[in-house]
């Protein structure tokens, strides 16, 4: 399934869950269920923004963006983290008001049924989105999936809390649950934002991918051929690799270029979405990039 298709499904699911959870809050009067509905509203706005960013990220490279637009997905996850923080502030505000003026809950049974139904929808969608995000390496889809998982656990906590309020009669417990929900989504929001910032700083490839690259290069390494200055980075769903390949100075350019082409193709077959760039150098020549960096 395509990333944009899943995000459109996320938008539709968010609308349904907002209706269900808002109805649950309206029936029961629980500020805990209100906080759950507000988080679903964040899901809707975030999914819409993620869809816009994924559309931009899918654009091909052009003269102004020769490496493509894939980093646009990082803006989606950052925006989602900020939306989560805004929702947490609103939830705490509502919870403090209810804490000052406790109210009994009504129609709890029907309200909880609606909440559980919406959580089941979110859970199924989150599972599918997470699986596809790993396959397509989409940080926007992963951020949305993680947020939906958080929503599911939040709903579970709210349901348990509402049941405890009914069993104990402790009305103050309802707003305290809402404050707990706010704390939990702030934690998740911080993690999403950090993932976005980390990605924008051109982080190296994952260790398992690095190991696959090393294994591929080992197949080509000979006594007369060696590889060094291997540098990798991530940009959304794309992966980039730059390195030097040293060959004997006596080789013809055609022979060296043919081997380089074989290495590049092998690397790109091994790591999906990889763009490999290899600079040819004679065996007796060493690049001095680090010395240049130190001097500047």
pLDDT (tens digit per residue) in 61-96? 777 777 777 777 677 667 767 777 777 777 787 778
Q: CB–CB of 51/3 below 8 Å?
A: no
The better pLDDT of the pair 285, 255 is held by 255
Right CATH for 3-200 from 3.40.50.1370, 3.30.565.10, 1.20.1510.10, 2.60.40.1190: 1.20.1510.10
The better pLDDT of the pair 1, 24 is held by 24
* pLDDT tens digits for range 17-68: 888 888 888 888 887 777 778 777 777 777 777 777 777 777 777 777 777 7
Comparing 180-184, 193-197, 246-250, the range with the smallest average pLDDT is 193-197
Highest mean pLDDT pick, 91-95, 161-165, 203-207, 259-263? 259-263
What are the extents of the domains in the chain? 3-200, 207-295
Q: Give the Cα-Cα-Cα angle 68, 71, 72 (nearest 5 degrees).
A: 100
Same topology between domain 3-200 and domain 207-295 = no
pLDDT on residue 180: 80
* pLDDT tens digits for range 147-170: 778 778 777 777 887 888 888 888
Other CB atoms closer than 10 Å to residue 278's CB: what's the count? 19
Q: Which of 267, 266, 245 is nearest to 256 (CA)?
A: 245
Q: CB–CB of 144/10 below 8 Å?
A: yes
Q: Report, as an integer, the average pLDDT of 166-183.
A: 80
pLDDT on residue 295: 44
Band (pLDDT 50/70/90 cuts) for residue 292 is very low
**Tokens, residue 144:** 């949305």
pLDDT on residue 254: 92
CATH topology of domain 207-295: Alpha-Beta Plaits (3.30.70)
Q: Is residue 293's pLDDT more than 60? A: no
Band (pLDDT 50/70/90 cuts) for residue 237 is low
Burial of 228 (0-12, 13-18, 19+ CB in 10 A): exposed
**Tokens, residue 130:** 């997470």
The better pLDDT of the pair 66, 248 is held by 248
pLDDT on residue 1: 64
Output DSSP code: residue 275.
Answer: E
The rounded mean pLDDT for the chain is 79
Burial of 53 (0-12, 13-18, 19+ CB in 10 A): buried
């Amino acid at each position: 399934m395509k990333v944009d298709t899943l995000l459109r499904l996320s938008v539709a699911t968010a609308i349904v869950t907002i209706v269900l959870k808002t109805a649950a809050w309206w029936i029961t009067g629980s500020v805990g269920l209100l906080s759950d509905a507000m988080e679903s509203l964040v899901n809707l706005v975030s999914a819409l923004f993620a869809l816009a960013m994924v559309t931009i990220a899918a654009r091909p490279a052009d003269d102004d963006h020769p490496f493509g637009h894939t980093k646009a997905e990082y803006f989606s996850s950052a925006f989602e983290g900020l939306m989560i923080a805004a929702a947490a502030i609103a939830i705490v505000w509502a919870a403090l008001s209810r804490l000052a003026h406790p109210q009994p809950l009504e129609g709890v049974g029907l309200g909880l049924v609606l909440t559980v139904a919406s959580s089941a929808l979110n859970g199924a969608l989150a599972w599918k989105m997470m699986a596809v995000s790993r396959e397509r390496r989409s940080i926007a889809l992963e951020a949305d999936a993680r947020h939906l998982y958080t929503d599911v656990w939040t709903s579970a906590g709210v349901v348990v809390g509402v049941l405890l309020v009914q069993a104990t009669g402790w009305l103050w417990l309802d707003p305290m649950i809402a404050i707990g929900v706010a704390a939990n989504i702030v934690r998740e929001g911080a993690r999403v934002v950090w993932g976005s910032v980390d990605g924008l700083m051109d982080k190296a490839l994952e260790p398992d991918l690095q190991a696959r690259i090393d294994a591929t290069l080992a197949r080509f390494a000979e006594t007369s051929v060696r590889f060094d200055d291997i540098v990798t980075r991530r940009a959304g769903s794309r992966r980039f690799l730059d390195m030097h390949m040293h060959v004997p100075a006596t080789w013809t350019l055609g022979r060296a270029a043919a081997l380089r082409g074989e290495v590049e193709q092998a690397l790109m077959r091994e790591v999906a979405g990889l763009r490999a760039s290899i600079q040819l150098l004679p065996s007796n020549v060493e690049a001095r990039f680090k010395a240049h960096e130190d001097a500047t």
